[in-house]
Structure 1
Amino acid sequence: MLISCDPNDVEGGKKLIEDLTVNANHVQQQVLKEILTRNAETEYLRAFLNGCSDKDLFKKSVPIVNYEDIKPYIEMIANGAPSKIISAEPISELLTSSGTSGGQPKMMPSTMEDLDRKTFLYNLLMPVMNRYVDGLDQGKGMYLLFIKPEIRTPSGLMARPVLTSYYKSSNFRNRPFNKHNVYTSPDKTILCSDSKQSMYCQLLCGLIQRDEVLRVGAVFASAFLRAIKFLEDYWEELCSNIRTGHISDWITDPNCRIAVSEILTQPNWKLANAIEYECKGRSWEQIIKRLWPRTKYVEVIVTGTMAQYIPMLDFYSGGLPLVSTMYASSECYFGINLKPLSKPSEVCYTLLPNMAYFEFLPVEKNPGEATEHIVCNGNSDHNCMKQQRQQQDEAIDLTDVKIGRYYELMVTTFTGLYRYRVGDILMVTGFHNNAPQFKFVHRRNVVLSVDTDKTNEEDLLQAVMRAKRLLDSLDCLLTEYTSYADTSSIPGHYVLFWEMKMRENGEVTKIDSIVMEDCCAAVEESLDSIYRRCRSRDKSIGPLEIRVVKQGTFDTLMDFCVSQGSSMNQYKTPRCIKSKGALEILEMRVVGRFFSKKAPMWKPYRIEAH
C-alpha cells in the first residue's frame, strides 16, 4: 500500500486524501490482507495462524498485546536473531520510544519501506496547508529540528528516536522542498549532535533570513519555547555575529561552521540593529511577529500534554495560529489534521487508512479516569484469559467507531507489530467521508510530562518512596503527596507537594533544606532514562522542586474535590493536579520550596548481548 505524493501538487494531494477517506474500509481490508500475506510465515504469526492470512482467524486467534509481550522478540532481533521471527521484510533499525519499559526506552521495529510511508505522510502536509494559507511558496520555513543520541545494538542495528532516524535518512535530505532552499536551517546544523551548537546555528540562520520567513516551528511546543528562551539568553551574541559577519569561536562543529558561513557571508549592521531593537525591550510579548514579521503561523504539536504550553505560545507569538499538522508515534505514523487552522482545543486527526491496520478498544470510563485493560503477559489465570477474550471480542475496526465515544488505539503494522496497544486514548469527533476523525485525549496512565518524558503513577510512587527514606534522619514522616508539571517558566519542571509530620510532635516546625534538596535529587535519580536525559543532556526539563505544605492541607484538598463531585467513599488523593482550584489550595499552604541542586546521572542506554 505504498503511495507517493508530490508536496507541490495541491490538487493531487487533495484527491489522494479524498480517495483514501472515501474508500477507508476497503483500504483497511487491503492493508490487513497485505500485512498477513507478507508475514504469514513469520515465527510470531505462524504460532497463531498456521500460515493462513484470513481476517476472521486473525481477529479470533492473534492476541492483543502491549510492549512487555513483544519485548522478547525485539530483544532477540537486537541481539542478532533474524528479522523473520516477526517480519518478512528485513528490520533495518529499531526506533526508541519516549515511553519506557523497566526504565529504558521501548524499541519498535522499522524497515526501509516504512521510511517511504512516513515520507508520504509528510508530503501530504503542504498540500493541506496550501489550501488554507496563501503564498507559502513565496518564502521560507524556520523549523528548529534536532537529533538525539543513538546506539548500535549487538546485532549491528541502530537504535534511535524516530525523528533522528528520519532526519538522518536520504528521504529527509532529498525531500522535494529542500531542493528549492525553502528552509532556513541547513541540514548540517540539524544533524549536529551538540544540541547547544545546533540551536545557536539554526537560530542564527533564521535571524539572518528573517525577511523571508513565513512559518516557524518545531516538532513539540516545549522545544519551540526552549528555543525562545535560548534566544533570550543569546540574542546579544547572535546580533554580534551578524554585525561582524563572523560566527562565534565556541561553535566548533566543522559542518555547522561551513553551513552557517554560506549564509552569514558578510557583516550586516542594519539587520543586527533591527534585531537588537526588538530584543532589548522590556517585554518579549509578540516577539515572533516582531522578529519574523511575515510569519503566518507557528507549527508545533499542541495537543495532549503539549496543550499546557498554549498560553506561553500565544504570548510570544501574538496570537498567531498554532498548527498541529500530524499525529504520529514511534510505532507508526497515523494521520493528519485536515483543518490545520482549528483552535488547539478543537484539533482532530484523520487516520489515513493506508498507514497501518487500525483497531480500537472501547473505553467505557470517563476519559480522565480511563485505566488500561488488564494485560495477561503470559499469565494463565482463568480470569485473566477471560478478560483477554473479552478484549478481542470488543476490538472495533476503523470505520465502525461511533462519534462521541472513547477508544484506545491499536495497530497492526507492516513492520512487525500485531494488534499492539499504542496506549493513546482517543475520542471520535466526526468523519471525513468514511474515515473517522479523532481528538487525542491522553496517554494511558501518564501523570507527568514536560517534554518527551512520560512519567506514570507507579514510577512516581517508586521515586517518592525512595526519596522519603531520607526523612528518617529528621525523625519525620511523609504523610501525603501529589504533583504537577509547572510550565510557567522555560524549561518546565516537576513539582511535588509533600505534607509531612514529626514522629513525636506532629507539626514540622523547621525544615532541613539540605535533606530536602537531597530528597529532590533522589526522586530525579529514580525516574526513567528519558527524564534523566531531558534533565542532564537536553536541558529540556528544569530541576525538580518539592513544595512542603502545612499539615491538614490534603484534608482541605479532599474537601475541595468532594465539593466538585468526587465521591467521599471512593476518594483517592490525585497523584497529579490538573484543577486550577486544587492547585490554588496547595499553593496557599506552601511553607517551604526546595530544588534539586544537581542533575541526575544519565548515560546512553545499552542493549546487552545474551
Structure 2
Amino acid sequence: MLPAVAVAAVVAVAVAVAVAIPALRHRLVRSALRRAGGRYRRRLEALGSDVRLSQERRLRRLLGTGTGTGTGTAGGERGAAGSGPGSPSHGFPSQLVPLPAGSEEFQQRHPLGQPCRDEAPGFPLGPLRLWALLPGCWDPDPRLQGSLLYLDALGAAFPRALLRRGTAVLHWSPGRARGPAGWPLPSLYCSPAAAALLPSRAAALRLQLLFALRQRALRVLEAGLAAELQDALLALRAEWPRLAQELELGRLSPQPGLPEGLRDRLQALLSPAAARAAELRAECARGFEGIVMRLWPQLEVVVVRTMRGTERLYCDSLRQTDCQGLPFYCPFYQAAGALLGVNLWPAEPEPRFMLCPDWAFCEFLPCLGSKEPRAVLLDELWEGCEYGLVVTAQPGEYRCRTGEVLKVTGFHKQCPLVEPVRRESQTLSVRGESIPEEQFCQSLCRALRMWPGARLIDYVCVESSLLGDSSGPCAPHYEVFMELQGLRDLSEGQRYKLDQCLQEDFPIYKSFRFKGSIGPLRLHLVRPRTFTRLREALGCPVPMPRVLREERLLQLIQGSVIS
C-alpha cells in the first residue's frame, strides 16, 4: 500500500511541476517583454520631443549612413546635439555619419515614386532573439517595437489580458505565415498557427473558431481584419450544431479545404469537451445577440489589427449584434507593408494612431491647394488637415505613394495622431466627379435610414466602364451591390433614394446628373454570404475594396444578384 501511495504522490508532484513550468515560463517571459515594452515607450516619448531630428536619423539609416562616427558637418553636429542624458537617443548610439543628403536634398534627388501595392497585415513568425531586447540594441525592427508596445499597452489597460492561452486568433494568411500581434509571446495564444496557412479562407477561420470555442476562459479575441471576425461568427451561426458535435467528440470532421495530413496533426490537439459542447448548444439556441460575451464570459477586449476607412462598417455591425458590450482595440497603423504608427490607448472607443518618427521616413501631400503640392514633413502637419501619405520604409524603395489619406486629429508631444480616412484607389469617378469612399458610405448609410427595417451587411460599387456591353447604351453610371438584412426587395422609389442622397451630398454629381452626362445609379441586392465568398476570392487578407476593378470579382458578385 505504501509504495502505491508513494508512487501516486510522485506522479502528482510530477504532473504539478509539468503544469507549473510552462505557466512560470510564461510569466517570466511576459514580465521581460512588458519591461522591454515600457522601455520602448519611454524611448518613443523621448523621440517625440524632436521629430525632425528623429526623422533625419531614420533617413540616414535607410540610406545606409547611420551607424558610423560623424564629424565636421551640420548634420553631424545635429546628430551629436542629442547625445546628452535627456536626449531622444535614450541610451542608443548618438554619433552619426554626416547626412550626405538631408531631407530636402533627398526629395530633390528622388522624385515621388509609383503607388505601392497594398499588402496584408502581419508580423514575422519565428523565435524571438533575446539580444533584440537589450537596452543598447541599435535600430531594432519596428515590428518588434510595435508588438512590445502592444503587449505593454494591452496589459496596462486590461491586466488579465496577457494570461497564458487566453487569446484566440482569427486570421487567414495563405502561403506565408504571419505572426499575431503579440508574436513575441506565443504562449499567449490557444490557436494553432498551422490553421492560418490553409488555402481555404473559410476552412481556416472555421478551424480557428473551433479551437477558440474550446477555451471558455478567453480574455482576448484577436482578428487580422474585422471582416475575418465577422465571417467567423457567421460560420458560428450557420454551423453551430456541427461545431458542438466536434467539441463533444473531440474529433475534426472532414471538410473542404482541410488537407487530410493537416487534419490528423490538428486532431492530436483536441480532446472531448462534452460540457463545453452542451454550453455552446444552449447559448446558440437562445439566439445570437451578444453571443460572444455569452460564450466567453471572461472576455475583456476584441483586438482588430487593421481597421481603415470603411472597414469600420464591420466593427460597428459587430458592436450592435454579436459583440455587444465589448470594447474594440485597433493597435497598429500600417500601410504598404510597413508599420508606421501605434495606438497606445486601448480603452478609448476611437483609435488614435501615433506616427512613430523612428519607424519610417514619412512625407505628406496636402489634399487642398495646388495640383502638385510640396511634400511636408512630420513636424509640419496641421491639426484637422488631411494629407496623402508618402513613405520611405525600406532601403532602395524611396518615396512610395501609399494611396492613403490621413487626417491629423491631434499631437502627442510633437508626434501627430492620425486617423485613416480613405484610399485614393477607392474613389468613384466616371466623369471626373471624384466621390471618396468614406463620403459615399455616409450617403449610403443616410439612404439606408429611409428604408425601415433594413440593416446594411456589406456593399461594393462598380463603375459602368467595367461592365462593358452589359451596361447597355445608357450614360456612364455607378452600380452598387448590397447585402441587406431585414429586406429582400426594394421598390423603385427606395432605390432612387441613394441617387438622391448622392446628388444632395455632391453638387458636382448633381450637375452631371442634371445634364444627363451621368446616368442614374443602379442598385442590386445580393444573396447572403456573397461578400464572404468575395473576400475569399480576393486571395489575400486585405481591407475590403469598395470599388471593384477586376472583371472576375464583378462576375462573382453579378452571379449572386437576387433583386
Q: Output the TM-score relative to the length of structure 2.
A: 0.65
Bigger mean CA offset, 436-445 vs 12-21: 12-21
Q: How much has 1:568 moved relative to structure 2? A: 8.6
Q: Distance in 1 between matches of 2:241 and 2:298?
A: 23
> Structure 1 residues 246, 55: CA separation in 2 closer, same or farther (over 3 Å shift)?
closer
**Conserved 8 A contact 1:446-1:454:** no
Aligned equivalent of 2:478, options 464, 474, 482 = 482
* AA partner of residue 173 (structure 2): I
Q: Distance in 1 between matches of 2:103 and 2:401?
A: 18
Q: How much has 1:602 moved relative to structure 2? A: 7.0
Give the match's secondary structure for 2:57. Answer: helix
1:58 correspondence with 2:116 = no
Bigger mean CA offset, 423-432 vs 251-260: 251-260
Aligned equivalent of 1:184, options 190, 212, 216 = 190
* AA partner of residue 178 (structure 2): Y
**Conserved 8 A contact 2:248-2:277:** yes
Aligned equivalent of 1:313, options 315, 318, 325 = 318
Q: Distance in 1 between matches of 2:427 and 2:375?
A: 26
Query: Percent same amino acid among aligned pairs?
Result: 21
* AA partner of residue 259 (structure 1): L
1:289 correspondence with 2:293 = yes
Q: Distance in 1 between matches of 2:459 and 2:392?
A: 23
* AA partner of residue 272 (structure 1): A
1:200 correspondence with 2:141 = no
Give the match's secondary structure for 1:338. Answer: coil
Q: In the alignment, which residue of structure 2 is the partner of 1:368? A: none
Kindly report which structure 2 residues correspond to 1:412-427, keeping only aligned pairs within 5 A, or say none.
412-427=392-407
Give the match's secondary structure for 1:136. Answer: coil
Q: Deviations over 1:249-282 (max 9, x none)?
A: 34544234323422x22x222111111100122x
Kindly report which structure 2 residues correspond to 1:507-586, keeping only aligned pairs within 5 A, or say none.
549=492, 566=507, 570-571=511-512
Q: In the alignment, which residue of structure 1 is the partner of 2:414? A: 434
Q: How much has 1:12 moved relative to structure 2? A: 2.4
Aligned equivalent of 2:178, options 143, 152, 166 = 166
**Conserved 8 A contact 1:360-1:397:** yes
Q: Distance in 1 between matches of 2:396 and 2:177?
A: 18
**Conserved 8 A contact 1:350-1:438:** yes
1:217 correspondence with 2:219 = no
> Structure 1 residues 594, 141: CA separation in 2 closer, same or farther (over 3 Å shift)?
closer
**Conserved 8 A contact 1:220-1:302:** yes
Q: How much has 1:411 moved relative to structure 2? A: 0.8
Q: In the alignment, which residue of structure 2 is the partner of 1:350? A: 354
Q: Deviations over 1:18-45 (max 9, x none)?
A: 1232342221110112222459xxxxxx
**Conserved 8 A contact 2:163-2:188:** no
* AA partner of residue 273 (structure 2): N
Q: Distance in 1 between matches of 2:230 and 2:528?
A: 23
Q: Distance in 2 between matches of 1:604 and 1:445?
A: 19
Q: In the alignment, which residue of structure 2 is the partner of 1:333? A: 339
Give the RMSD, CA atoms, in angstroms: 4.2
* AA partner of residue 409 (structure 1): L
Q: In the alignment, which residue of structure 2 is the partner of 1:11? A: 38
Q: Distance in 1 between matches of 2:480 and 2:338?
A: 29
Structure 1 gap segments, 5+ residues each: 40-50, 71-94, 100-112, 151-163, 366-372, 375-386, 470-476, 491-544, 574-584, 606-610
* AA partner of residue 241 (structure 2): E
Q: In the alignment, which residue of structure 2 is the partner of 1:255? A: 262
**Conserved 8 A contact 2:219-2:299:** yes
**Conserved 8 A contact 1:243-1:269:** yes
1:134 correspondence with 2:139 = no
Q: In the alignment, which residue of structure 1 is the partner of 2:467? A: 464
Q: Output the TM-score relative to the length of structure 1.
A: 0.60
Q: Distance in 2 between matches of 1:441 and 1:596?
A: 28
Give the match's secondary structure for 2:463. Answer: helix
Aligned equivalent of 1:21, options 48, 52, 56 = 48
> Structure 1 residues 258, 482: CA separation in 2 closer, same or farther (over 3 Å shift)?
same
More strand by proportion, 1 or 2?
1
Kindly report which structure 2 residues correspond to 1:12-161, keeping only aligned pairs within 5 A, or say none.
12-37=39-64, 52-67=100-115, 97=119, 116-139=141-164, 140-148=166-174, 150=175
Q: How much has 1:415 moved relative to structure 2? A: 3.8
* AA partner of residue 16 (structure 1): R
Q: Distance in 2 between matches of 1:57 and 1:32?
A: 12
**Conserved 8 A contact 1:97-1:330:** yes
> Structure 1 residues 560, 252: CA separation in 2 closer, same or farther (over 3 Å shift)?
closer
Q: Deviations over 1:490-515 (max 9, x none)?
A: 9xxxxxxxxxxxxxxxxxxxxxxxxx
Q: Distance in 1 between matches of 2:424 and 2:489?
A: 25
Q: Distance in 2 between matches of 1:400 and 1:463?
A: 40
Q: Distance in 2 between matches of 1:488 and 1:597?
A: 11
**Conserved 8 A contact 1:409-1:426:** yes
Q: How much has 1:339 moved relative to structure 2? A: 1.7
Aligned length: 421
Q: Distance in 1 between matches of 2:500 and 2:284?
A: 47
Q: In the alignment, which residue of structure 1 is the partner of 2:17? A: none
Q: How much has 1:290 moved relative to structure 2? A: 0.5
**Conserved 8 A contact 2:59-2:361:** yes
Q: In the alignment, which residue of structure 1 is the partner of 2:232? A: 227
Q: Which runs of 4+ in 1 moved over 4 A?
A: 447-450, 487-490, 545-550, 556-565, 567-573, 592-605
* AA partner of residue 396 (structure 1): V
